[in-house]
Structure 1
């Protein structure tokens, strides 16, 4: 990896920090708009996204780990999603002590319809990049995901400021 030093790199870091804050704020507000549109809590929308991104159903504990919620908060989240018909709780056939949270495809079609409406705009954004640029973006997003979870665990382990 090539590291540029000097004023250009400092300027790029500063610009990237500003644009990252703007991007994250826009995404949080976008997520809120999606949740409002669907009549869901923003965390519920993200939990559904995580549940559908995983190849297998998750336990409440796994969902708590992915979201950074306590198991109690994750249980309440799953309760809301279950009441809304978005997920079911099913016994794990491999370990009967565990309960799996399984998305309900028919109900998720409601969420997918929102993405179907918005997807072309996001696709156009990606179409403006070369394959090499897409690989850089993917690598960055994976690393940012891992770092975000690492820092989330770090923050949760520290006492809250007074």
Structure 2
């Protein structure tokens, strides 16, 4: 039997998590609208700039959970907008690498920098120990999300 106080905390955390996730999705949509991009494009740019080097379309598909065809169309849109460039892989000429274009990424970064001051102020309210808990939680939630996406994709769709 779960402790009633812990059960209440789980319920509150569940409720706040749903609000947080919904607000993030809506924020992402607002940011995409502001930049004239698709929300998935914004997230792809975020993932691309978090990586230490260029990625293949296949790697982008794996990161985003998109099919390779959808990932190709996403990269096509970003390339048309000047946000990424396709370049031949110097190690394997059969592969093409997708690389962020720094001056166009700066456009997105400028919006993030402006909004980031508020996020920084929110984080400044936490102790270092609390920040470590948040980092650990986000890292583990990221891993769990990818595992759960795989499970969902392997299941038949409901009628």
* TM-score (normalizing by structure 1): 0.96
1:144 corresponds to which of 141, 145, 153: 141
**Matched length:** 158
Deviating more after overlay: 149-158 vs 40-49: 149-158
- Residue 31 (1) aligns with residue 28 (2): yes
Moved over 3 A (4+): none
2:103 corresponds to which of 101, 106, 123: 106
Partner of 2:5: 8
Question: 1:117, CA displacement in angstroms?
Answer: 1.1
Secondary structure of the corresponding residue to residue 157 of structure 2: coil
Q: What is the alpha-carbon distance in structure 2 between the residues aligned to residue 63 and residue 25 of structure 1?
A: 24
Question: 1:58, CA displacement in angstroms?
Answer: 0.6
Q: What is the alpha-carbon distance in structure 2 between the residues aligned to residue 56 and residue 152 of structure 1?
A: 25
Tell me how large the CA RMSD over aligned residues is: 0.6
Q: What is the alpha-carbon distance in structure 2 between the residues aligned to residue 77 and residue 153 of structure 1?
A: 20
5+ residue gaps in structure 2? none
Q: What is the alpha-carbon distance in structure 2 between the residues aligned to residue 159 and residue 79 of structure 1?
A: 30
* TM-score (normalizing by structure 2): 0.98
Partner of 2:69: 72
5+ residue gaps in structure 1? none
